[in-house]
A and B are shown apart, each in its own frame.
Chain A
Amino acid sequence: MPFTAEPRHLEAGYDVVVVGAGPAGMAAALGARDRGAERILLIDRDVEPGGILLQCIHSGFGLHAFDEEITGPEYAQRYLEQVLEHDIDVLTDAYVMDVSSERRIKVMSPTVGVTGLDARSVVLAMGARERTRGAINIPGDRPSGVMTAGLAQRMVNIDGYLPGRRAAILGSGDIGLIMARRLALEGVEVVGVFELLPHPSGLTRNIVQCLDDLDIPLHLSTTVVGIHGRDRLGRITVAPVDDDRQPLLDRGWDVDVDTLLLSIGLIPDAELARDLGVLFDPVTGGPVVSGTMETTLPGVYAAGNVVHVNDLADWVSREARLAGEWAGALATGARRPDEDVRLIPGDNVAYVVPHTISRDGTHTVSFRVQRPIHGPTLLRVGEVHQRKVRAVVPAEMVTLKLAPRMFEDWTGAVLRIDAVPAEAVVR
């Protein structure tokens, strides 16, 4: 049941086509409208817009976008209402097969068949997908009952099935923690969360509210080393790991479970961008982008989790609105800024987005640290800006605002971003 059966401008083409109608895509479409783009098409492969927000029934969304704490479905619906008010075409149940470097889009759906359409600008907003068992090579049998946490979330929250009766969770990322609580509240026995690292990967709030509140144990520096079961999962073997994250097999133990959820990270769902041949960031797994969220192919923008995995949908929408605004501006004849300053990760910084910026604009720079610093931390942007914060952890993305005045006396070309303990800084 497609949302819009017939996009109105298939023949004439669109100013902006957005691929993916989650928190990124919907915000991008609205951004394009803000900048005067007239014909905008939002495409999604699901039967309705909203993306993963629709299965994220917990609250914690909207604090930045709407100044109010709401759930994922409410966040999706508020954006969708704006999208429809702004007369944006929404084609659902449609799969984008290819985007060419001339921005011709090949889309397939039950209503339009396989069709090509042209866009002046394209915004890639496909989000991320979950890492699976294959990504970490857990040895053992291949029974049913081993699945990603997000898949279980969809089963429980939309399709109305419980994945099993007795579950363990590998990985303490936020989706895993939220599913631990979700399953426990639906009457599933959750025996524990196992985390390879010596610290939790998810937010403190989720450790407290999803695990501690429900007496679900968290085993740090511990991982799953065996999966046992012929047809259905019956048992897993877990073991502590040493400082080099190598499992100590002689200290392992068995846990009887019929379900193992994997919450072991997300990777940008960026195949369309890969096929386009744009430059990628090996750390984020997403395309390299400029301060306007343009990829290295002119007219092709990208934003949200397809660029780097964010921890808040609100950040995704903010970044995507910017992408949409520039995609819309470019489609209506605006000039792109001169983005000749490179941003690179320095001390204790894993990656920085965007990768290049202009000197004359206001920019939000996002990055993730490699190691936690549990105390005053200095965030430094080359010689142009620094700020002190209370602490940094890899689980929480850090953002800094850069303004043109910071560049007044600076003539360099590269800015290194560092996150270091404040007391260690000698000035």
Chain B
Amino acid sequence: MTRHPDRADDPDRRSPASDSDVSTHVYLCTGCPLGCRLEVDATEEDVVEVRGFNCRKGERYGEQEHLDPRRPLSTTIWIEGATIRRVPVRTAEPIPRDQVRAVAEALRGLRVTAPVRRGDVVVADILGTGIDVIVTRDLPAVSPHNQLPAG
């Protein structure tokens, strides 16, 4: 992979060669089909240099992925009184990557009752992330003989 030419010429951003507390981390860029293998040199606190990118987006992705990797999470929860048994929900914003499993587990047993509307908040500030979990589709309440029991 090539170093970005602008970046190679920028003396301020070059990592000091003898810096012993700098470690290198490898990430796969997800921005485009190129899938660049990014090498991120970082100290405990900050990113020193990103290598292997072919565009500015890739460079930013490397920094973000190292310092604060985030993922959108979607799942489904039980709904009663609707024509289907599960209603899809998602985090309103991407959440920290290492919280994804915990949030999915926290939502697993959740139950709501129809009607629900797209955008309804089912859990505010999930697990202290500061991010809400919202419904992603309308499901009207239906008359009892058209309902499916939630599992």
Contacts and interface: CB of A to CB of B under 8 A. Distances in A.
Interface of A: 1, 47-48, 54, 57-59, 69-71, 73-74, 76-77, 156-161, 182, 185-187, 203-205, 207-209, 212-214, 372, 374, 390-393, 395-396
Interface of B: 28-30, 32-35, 54-55, 71-76, 78, 83-86, 88, 90, 97, 100-101, 104-105, 108, 118, 136-138, 142, 146, 150-151
A213 B90 contact: no
A91 B97 CA distance: 42
A40 to B, nearest CB: 23
B101 A185 contact: yes
Given A203-B30, A204-B33, 6 more contacts: A1-B146, A48-B83, A157-B76, A159-B84, A185-B104, A209-B71
B54 A157 contact: no
B151 to A, nearest CB: 5
Contact of B29 (A69, A161, A187, A204): A204
Contacts of B78: 160
A57 B87 CA distance: 9
Nearest to A157: B76
A28 to B, nearest CB: 22
A207 B28 contact: yes
Contact of B32 (A48, A157, A182, A391): A391
Contacts of A76: 137
Contact of B83 (A1, A71, A213, A372): A1
Contacts of A396: 33
B74 A57 contact: yes
A159 B100 contact: no
Contact of A185 (B97, B100, B150): B100
A336 to B, nearest CB: 35
Contacts of A71: 74, 88, 90, 136
Contact of B85 (A48, A58, A159): A159
**Most central of B33, B88, B90, B137 by chain A CB within 10 Å:** B33
B84 A57 contact: no
